[in-house]
A = this chain, B = another copy of it.
Amino acid sequence: MVFSTTTQYALKILAYMNEHKERLCSAKTLSEELDIPYKYLTKIMTKFTKNEMIESIQGRYGGFKLIDSKIITIYDILKLCDGDSAKACIIGKIECNEKKKCHYHDAWQKPRASIKKDFLDADLKSCGVKDS
């Protein structure tokens, strides 16, 4: 189980944008600051924009920014980049449920539930913020 390169990039990018939400972030800046290949990064940004996770402003002095009103969870990010992170069955069995369990069903339940719940709770804008 691994988070793809794209997912890791995505998480880094959004965390950076969140830390600098007062200004636009250009692809050039993001690429340099986060050490992500420029062209690959722009691809990811376009994807985010199309999925309305962020807003893009074109033309000179343009860039990207988070949408104030929008809540983005870690789960949303993973889902967009890698697909559903907490699939019901670890071995992809269709008929795997509480009544008819695959061999690994019980062992997978806790990690899976934790991933789903904790990542759905983890709003990008607040998850790095200390409780006070």
Q: Does A78 contact B (CB under 8 A)?
A: yes
Count the copies.
2
Interface-facing stretch out of A22-30, A48-56, A104-112? A104-112
Q: Does A11 contact B (CB under 8 A)?
A: yes
- Interface size, A (range): 35 or more
Q: Residues of B contacting A8 with CB < 8 Å?
A: 90-92
Please report which residues of chain A, range 92-131, place their CB below 8 angstroms from some CB of chain B when the two chains form the complex.
Answer: 92, 101-107, 110-111, 114-115, 118-119, 121-122, 127-128
Q: Does A4 contact B (CB under 8 A)?
A: yes
Task: Assess the A1–B115 pair: CB atoms within 8 A.
Answer: yes
CA separation between A92 and B19, bound complex, in Å? 18
